[in-house]
Chains A and B, each alone.
Chain A
Amino acid sequence: MTPFATDAEALFPELARRIANTLARLRQARGVTVGCSAKRAVWNCGKTTLYQYLPLGEAPARAGARPVLICFALVNRPYVLDLQPDRSLVRRLLVAGLSLYLIDWGDPDDADRCLDLEDYIERHLGGCVRHILDSHAGEALDLLGVCQGGVLSLCYTALHRRRVANLVTLTTPVDFHTPDNLLSKWVRGLDTELLMRSGNVPGEVLNGLFLSLMPLRLTQHKYVRLLTGNCDQRAVEDFVRMERWIFDSPPQAAVALAQFLRWFYQENRLVRGTLRIGGRRVDLGEIRQPVLNLYALEDHIVPPAASAAMQRYLGSADYTGCGIDTGHIGMYVSRKAAHEIPARIISWLRDRQ
């Protein structure tokens, strides 16, 4: 005898109906597109492309405004910032009249396996900055670093502080050894030398690593939640766009990834002051320009403490830290973040023009 009076079978017809409906909606959503704002490639270096977003017709032109460069992570695609019109950080910034650029790191292949962090920071990110400054005949731009791209932006700003007027970081880890950082615990014992020799790491592997931080929730629960009664076609399409982004991770250049794991996750060099890029020490104390640091309070990839620690190490007297009540991905696409984050960035930058 089972401990339950098993009424579950009575639910099966309703369950089967909802499964069939959701499957039909998912199949119908195959045609969804991502990336809604028009942009053009203006510069490239290897697989890296610098895009300039075209101004929106309705946006008020802001004369003399500094250009803003978005530096996204190497481990994901940047189009999550411009996923769909009602969930697009890019679009909100364009509506505010900002002159916006974005770095797309592309797909490193075996010819790029020796790309290192110096290449990415000095040649690629640095090249983008130089190109923009030349185009605008300016001396400095505003830099918006996202996640791992925020780490690269911090390094670049510390090394080239005259070229960055204001720095905005989004879900950016600084202290990689906070106790709640599961990812850091997992990679602490990796042999990065061996990893480097084993070649580029496919995006699927890193994606699998991120999903395995909460496997049931991130690979099962989110699908079962589609069975709740309030998932209409539009909600399913939003879901599919997000899924597309999650499973579309670029491969990682072997050397750069190994350096990132070792220098940041294993040795925590950024906060210990022992990080050197291209022979030069990266000293966060050299960052004296205004910094806006936005982080997620429910972040399972970059714990809030890992990001909030930034304030202790910067030389800036104008630091604004702000925790948003959402998760890592929610920072880019949740409805709440879609309004709150662009509004904060726009008003903060406007106050510092």
Chain B
Amino acid sequence: METPFTSAAFKPDAAFASAAERFFELLKTVGMPSAAAAGAGRDWSSLAGPLAGQFEQWLKTSQSAGAWFAAANAASPGPAAGFGAAQAGFFGPLPLGAGAAPQQDAQRGWDLVARLAQLQGQLASHWSEIANTAARRFVARLGAAAGGAPTLDNALQLYELWVSCAEESYAATVRRDDFCRLQAELANTSAALLVEQRRHAETLVRAFGLPTRNEVDALYAQLKDLRRQLAELTDAPRTRRAGAQRPAARPAGNRPRKRTRKPRA
């Protein structure tokens, strides 16, 4: 049996507390529309601003909204630290005379950090658009939903409406080609930054006479090739036996083939 809570990201009580707190904030912002206040034709538009502001802030700070790319943002550490610690400070000169990174290498890193910041600015404008659209949708649909008794269960129903409006607005934006292109560019820039950092690190380890990632990978590729050859040699008697038992047809999977270097992605 495995036990939970082995992963640092797995903290349902903390996640619940945080979500409940935001729900509480939302209730404070919206209030509960009383039956008297929920008459037809009532104008709820003044709610849109605060709601949009809250949602936009959440989108900006949430790793979930663009977690694939958020790790590249040094200012927003979190569970999605996938593309590594893209710390701008990494691009200072390496502390070794002969192995010091050339100035143009450090510049490349800085350029990537700057580009990331620029792309994140563009992303922020999408969050703003999503938040405003969501708030307007919510306000437009509120008239029909408002008017119940101010109970917690009614408040939860109101929250359901808010989530639906927010997800619809989010989906409409994130499916657009310009958003998809931006996300891809963010991911690619993050990956480029990580590759750049690793190149710097390789310079450093080479200076210490340590094996580099590329060297280890080359060794691994050789080992893999040897394993493959061994497997083919091991499989050969099995194939011959199978062929002897089934003279009419050779299994498709055991067809001998000339090894060719396979293409990588």
- Assess whether A7 is in contact with B150, with CB atoms less than 8 Å apart: yes
CB-defined A-B contacts under 8 Å, sample of 30: A5-B34, A7-B34, A15-B155, A23-B13, A34-B2, A35-B2, A114-B221, A116-B262, A119-B224, A161-B252, A162-B252, A162-B253, A191-B184, A199-B84, A204-B67, A205-B68, A207-B79, A214-B171, A215-B64, A220-B19, A220-B22, A220-B23, A224-B23, A227-B20, A227-B156, A228-B156, A229-B153, A244-B7, A278-B262, A286-B252
Chain B residue, CB-CB nearest to A33? B1
- Assess whether B4 is in contact with A212, with CB atoms less than 8 Å apart: no
- Assess whether B64 is in contact with A228, with CB atoms less than 8 Å apart: no
B106 at the interface (CB under 8 A from A): no
Contacts of A286 in B (CB 8 A): 252
Task: Render B137-174 as a binary contact track against A, CB cut-off 8 A, 1 for contact.
Answer: 00000000010001111011001100100110011001
A198-B19 CB under 8 A given contacts A111-B220, A205-B80, A259-B265: no
B36 at the interface (CB under 8 A from A): yes
Which residue of the partner chain, among B82, B227, B228, contacts A205 with CB atoms under 8 Å? Answer: B82
A221-B4 CB under 8 A given contacts A205-B71, A226-B16: no
B110 at the interface (CB under 8 A from A): no
For the complex, what is the distance from the CA of A63 to the CA of B42, rounded to whole Å? 72
- Assess whether A243 is in contact with B12, with CB atoms less than 8 Å apart: yes
B109 at the interface (CB under 8 A from A): no
Which residue of the partner chain, among B2, B13, B31, contacts A8 with CB atoms under 8 Å? Answer: B31
Interchain pairs with CB closer than 8 A, number: 271
- Assess whether B253 is in contact with A163, with CB atoms less than 8 Å apart: yes
- Assess whether A6 is in contact with B32, with CB atoms less than 8 Å apart: yes
Give the size of the chain A interface in residues (CB under 8 angstroms): 100
Contacts of A197 in B (CB 8 A): 191, 195
A255-B264 CB under 8 A given contacts A4-B37, A227-B152: yes
> Chain B's nearest CB lies how many Å from the CB of A333?
15
Main secondary structure of the interface of B (DSSP, over half): helix
Chain A residue, CB-CB nearest to B21? A19
Which one of A48-56, A168-176, A182-190, A334-342 contacts B? Answer: A182-190
For the complex, what is the distance from the CA of A179 to the CA of B43, rounded to whole Å? 37
- Assess whether B1 is in contact with A35, with CB atoms less than 8 Å apart: yes
> Chain A's nearest CB lies how many Å from the CB of B3?
6
- Assess whether A34 is in contact with B257, with CB atoms less than 8 Å apart: no
A23-B17 CB under 8 A given contacts A208-B82, A218-B64: yes
Interface residues, chain B, with chain A CB atoms under 8 Å away: 1-7, 9-10, 12-13, 15-20, 22-24, 27-28, 30-34, 36-37, 42-44, 46-47, 59, 62-68, 70-71, 79-84, 146, 150-153, 155-156, 159-160, 163, 166-167, 170-171, 174-175, 180-181, 183-185, 187-188, 191-192, 194-195, 198, 213, 216-217, 220-221, 224, 227-228, 231, 251-253, 257, 259-260, 262, 264-265
- Assess whether B198 is in contact with A189, with CB atoms less than 8 Å apart: no
